[in-house]
Structure formats: structure tokens, C-alpha cells
Amino acid sequence: MNSIYIISSILITIAIYILFLKIYGIKKYILFHPNIATTIILILVLYITKIPFELYNTGGQYITYFLGICIVVLAIPMYQTLELLKENIKLIVLTSLVSIYTSFFSMMIIARFLNIPKSLVFSLIPKSITSAMAIEASKLINGSEAMAILGVMVTGIMGAIIGRFVLDRINITNPIARGCSLGMSAHVMGTTQALEEGEITGSFSALSIPVTGVLTIINLPLFTVVIDYLLK
């Protein structure tokens, strides 16, 4: 019986992804992007059919595993623009730190204003890094893994939906700036958008993901102290 659930989960997910991959190829509407549309459709299907996530995830976990392996594909555009990346590595690190601290203190202001529980704030600290790193980060600060993943998903989807729109509206045209912005704010989903703009934008977005992840984890002790002090 478990094998049926596993195969069904994998086939349904792949079928929805392929469907929206074709639709997005015809109509470049952001909500039709396969990464975003597949996530939304699967959530709706599970909600309507009352299928427990744990049951779906008997097969979904294998997709997640292989996605973790496939992310090495991002190394290709990075290798093709390696010299440019080396020249700007200090800039990437600096802007990543600015991004991390801006995100954190913005969240703290909202938490104070809305009286959000401290436990939830802990879980949302790693919202701008990949799911795998967010899970490990949440463990280090005793946050909720489920809420950490939810934070990552919502951040990635919102970043992918409005990221390029915002950059266009504020007239940010430099491919390096656009790549860093998308990668640091919306991790992998932002990078899928960046790759559509070209190798340079995609490369800087891809490199921003691990840099932002590592720096976020390094700063976790400081963030926890600040949260304990401000959200008593």
C-alpha cells in the first residue's frame, strides 16, 4: 500500500509540474511558473481532498531529495561567469549582510507591532535561505521546523512573484544587482527568475544563496540574543 502512495505522490507532482511548464512556455505569467503553480495546486489538492501531508510526503520526500541533488545545476552559470564572480565576491558578502540584517530588523519591528510570539519569530529567522539550511537553523535555535519551511516557501513564492516587478519599478537594471537581490531575498525560486534574465543575473543569484545561508547561520547567536532582549 505504501508503494502505491509513493508512486501516486510522485506522478501527480511531476504531472502538475510538466503541465505548468508547458503553460508557462506559452504564457509568461508569474503565477503559471511551474515552481509556484505546482506548490499552490498541491496545497489546494491536499486541502480539498483532506489527504494528510504525511501521506503525500511518503512520495514527496523523494522528490525533495532529488531536488537537493539537482541544485548543483546552478553551478553551471556560476562556472561560466567565474571571473566576474571572483571580482565581486566582497560586494556579494557585504550586500548579503545588509540583506540579512534588514530582513531581521524589519521582522522584529513587525513582531513588536503585532505582538507575534517569540517562538514564531525564532522559526522565521531563516526564511530567506533554502529549506535544507532553514531546517538545520531552526534546530539550532529551538524553532519549529514546519514553520521554518513555511516561511521559506512563502518568502520564495512572494519574491518570485513580485521580485522582478519591484526591481523594474525602482529602475534597477544592473544584472549583478538584480541577481543578488533575487537570490538573497527569494533563494532558489528567485534564482529561477534570475536565470530567465541571463547568465550574469542567474550566476550572482545562485552564488547569493549559499552566501546568505552561511551568514544567516553565523549570525543566529546574535539574533537570538536580540529577540530575547526585545521580545520579553
More confident residue, 74 or 99: 99
Q: CA separation (Å) from 7 to 49, 63, 130, 161, 167? A: 18, 11, 26, 31, 41
Does residue 68 sit in the same domain as residue 86? Answer: no
Q: CA separation (Å) from 225 to 28, 122, 231? A: 44, 11, 10
Say what the pTM is: 0.76
57, 73, 89 - which closes a domain = 73
The string of DSSP letters for 30-94 reads: GGG-HHHHHHHHHHHHHHHHT--HHHHHHHHHHHHHHHHHHGGGGHHHHHHTHHHHHHTHHHHHH
User: Mean pLDDT in the chain?
Assistant: 83
Instruction: Tell the residue number behind the cell numbers 514564531, with chain if given.
Output: 120
Q: Is residue 35 scored above 80 in pLDDT? A: no
Does residue 19 sit in the same domain as residue 109? Answer: no
Does residue 16 sit in the same domain as residue 128? Answer: no
For the chain, the domain total comes to: 2
- Give percent of the chain with pLDDT exceeding 70: 91
CA separation for the pair 38, 16 (Å, rounded):
6
* Average pLDDT of the segment spanning 160-173: 89
Does residue 85 sit in the same domain as residue 69? Answer: no
Q: How far, rounded to the nearest angstrom, does the alpha carbon of residue 125 sit from its chain's CA centroid?
A: 13
In eight-state DSSP terms, residue 28 is: -
Q: Is residue 152 scored above 80 in pLDDT? A: yes
56, 73, 90 - which closes a domain = 73
> Which of 121, 77, 125 is closest to 103 using CA atoms?
125
Tens-place pLDDT, residues 37-46: 888 888 888 8
Q: Up-side HSE of residue 70: CA atoms within 13 Å toward CB? A: 7
Does residue 44 sit in the same domain as residue 138? Answer: no
Please report how the helices 53-70 and 2-26 are oriented relative to each other, as an axis angle in degrees rounded to 10: 60
Does residue 105 sit in the same domain as residue 41? Answer: no
Can you give the pLDDT at residue 26?
87
Does residue 94 sit in the same domain as residue 202? Answer: yes
Q: Is residue 6 scored above 80 in pLDDT? A: no
Does residue 211 sit in the same domain as residue 121? Answer: yes
- Burial zone of 221 (CB within 10 Å; 0-12 exposed, 13-18 middle, 19+ buried): exposed
Does residue 56 sit in the same domain as residue 124? Answer: no
More confident residue, 23 or 70: 23
| Radius of gyration in angstroms for the set of CA atoms belonging to the chain, rounded to a whole number | 18
Can you give the pLDDT at residue 94?
92
Helices (H) and strands (E) in the chain, counts: 12, 0
Does residue 53 sit in the same domain as residue 122? Answer: no
Can you give the pLDDT at residue 219?
92
Range of the domain at 35: 2-73
CA separation for the pair 38, 21 (Å, rounded):
10
